[in-house]
Amino acid sequence: MTSTATRAAGEHGAQAAGTPGPGGHGAPAQSRSGLAGLAELPAGAVRRIVRATRRTPGRLSLIAVGLIVLALLTGVFGTIAMQDRKGSIDGLIEHREPLAAAAQEVYRSLSDADATAASSFLFTGGEPRQLRERYELDIAKAGAALAKAASDSAGVGDAATQVDILSQQLPVYTGLVEQARANNLQGFPVGASYLREASHLMRSTLLPAAEELYRIDTQRLAAEQDDASGFPWLTALLVLALLGALIAAQVHIKRSTNRVFNIGLVVATIAVGVAILWTAAALIVQSVLVSAGRDSTEQVDQLVQARITALKARADETLTLVARGGGDEYEKEFVQLSAELAGPDGEGGMLERARNLTAGEPAAEPTAAAAEDASAWLRAHTEVRSLDQAGNHDRAVGLAMDSTDEQSAAAAFTRLDGHLAEAINAARQGFLDDTTNGSRALILLAPGFAVLAVIAALGVTMGIRERLREYR
């Protein structure tokens, strides 16, 4: 009887347990779907973190995690930034500057080839061998420099266009020169016509394309110099944030534990401070040296422009004599170019600007000598024109072309070209020296930054762990 009552009571309890209460649904609440549970994970994690921060150990753990993550992020981004910066500077030395020099060589060689080809027509009894060899050397140098410049033009549309023009028209020019030479050797007057056509092609198509290619490469060099000396804002913000966070953490721990110093956090702070000082010093030195290299680039550009202007004027001087009284247009252009080169009075122009840029630099002495050579050349040219206009063509040609006569236009121009070449090489070497030293200032900075960031993270770990042990 007792068991029957007990069983009835159990059945009644079971039935009561299965009976829905007021407002019930008649079944236990089902668990939420898997996606809904995943969606709640972040919120749950945040709630647990908030609950943990209500106690000192939880707050310390959270501070430690935040500082370690910030230290490692700073190390990663800082290391990448410093490595990229050094790579940019090395690229200036090994890649960009040589390509700009190659574009300059294309322009210079073509200008000299044009002047040399014209000079050969002023000699009777055959073309001098040295002029022939100089012309062939100029064409070979222009071809080699063009091939080098073309190796980096594929991704730059304007540069590729100029390379195509030069590649297509240079064989046309050399063909016209060969026709002019062949006719001249046979005494046919048409040879001078072929020469004028070749010179027109050079001046109207080849030299403008070479000048544009040189301008493009010079601009790319300047842009990469700016990139190499830019300020690393992201790295600076991260490292300053890390330093501020370390200081704030130490202040918080001091207030919480009444401990003046936390050795681990002090070590981390010192590591970050060393990273800041090392990076700041290295970047300042590097920026100063790269800026000095930019000054050398400006010197090179001015000197190159002066040299090319002198070569074009020399070709005009020669073509005026080849025309035998019909070269007024060449003489007019000579006057214009000589004014650009040395000023109307021989005391200004490109050479004066070059002297101002190179003052106190290794290129100063040859630049000053080039200015004196230009004055001597212009004086000789005036005498050449006087002789030619007086009907003494042979003496005019001799004064213009006889390089053994120190007072001749040829000798003065040869000295001018040589001193300008010397000044250009000195300025280029100045760029290479300054930029190389700028790269050396960043040696070991990238790995050093990474090591210091790791030391900072380890210091945080050790310092916070010691405080957490006090709560166990």
List the chain pLDDT tens, one digit each, 472 residues. Answer: 444 444 444 444 444 444 444 444 444 444 445 555 555 545 554 555 555 555 666 677 788 888 889 889 988 998 898 888 888 888 888 888 888 888 888 988 998 898 888 887 777 666 778 888 989 999 999 999 999 888 877 667 788 899 999 999 999 999 999 998 888 777 777 888 888 899 889 989 999 999 899 888 888 888 887 777 778 888 889 889 988 988 888 887 777 766 667 788 889 899 999 999 998 898 888 888 887 777 888 888 899 889 989 988 988 888 888 877 777 888 899 999 999 998 877 678 899 999 999 988 889 999 999 999 999 999 999 999 998 888 888 888 888 888 788 888 889 999 999 999 999 999 988 888 888 888 888 888 889 889 999 998 998 888 878 766 766 5
C-beta separation of 48 from 427 below 8 A:
no
349: left (phi over 0), alpha (psi -120 to 50) or beta: left
Smallest Cα–Cα separation from 443: which of 83, 97, 8? 83
Alpha carbon distance 282, 442 (integer Å) = 6
C-beta separation of 199 from 315 below 8 A:
yes
C-beta separation of 239 from 274 below 8 A:
no
Q: How far from chain centre, in Å, is Cα 355?
A: 25
Alpha carbon distance 135, 112 (integer Å) = 8
Alpha carbon distance 186, 82 (integer Å) = 66
C-beta separation of 308 from 350 below 8 A:
no
Alpha carbon distance 175, 196 (integer Å) = 13
Q: Would you state the torsion angle of the CA atoms of residues 8, 9, 12, 16, taken in this order, to the nearest 10 degrees?
A: -170
The DSSP 8-state label assigned to residue 363 in this structure reads T
Alpha carbon distance 405, 383 (integer Å) = 14
Smallest Cα–Cα separation from 274: which of 440, 444, 452? 452
Alpha carbon distance 220, 218 (integer Å) = 5
Alpha carbon distance 378, 50 (integer Å) = 86
Q: Which residue has the tokens 């990229």?
A: 84
Q: Which residue has the tokens 């590729």?
A: 160
Q: How far from chain centre, in Å, is Cα 218?
A: 9
SS3 73: helix
The DSSP 8-state label assigned to residue 31 in this structure reads P
Biggest CA pair distance of the chain: 156
Smallest Cα–Cα separation from 416: which of 298, 314, 275? 314
- Kindly state the helix (H) or strand (E) to which residue 292 belongs, with its residue range: helix 263-322
Smallest Cα–Cα separation from 266: which of 290, 250, 251? 250
Q: Which residue has the tokens 């005026």?
A: 320
403-459 pLDDT per residue, tens: 788 888 889 999 999 999 999 999 988 888 888 888 888 888 889 889 999 998 998
C-beta separation of 115 from 315 below 8 A:
yes
| Distance set, CA 227 to CA 236, 278, 442, 447 (Å) | 16, 20, 15, 21
Q: What is the pTM of this model?
A: 0.73
What is the structure's pLDDT at 48? 56
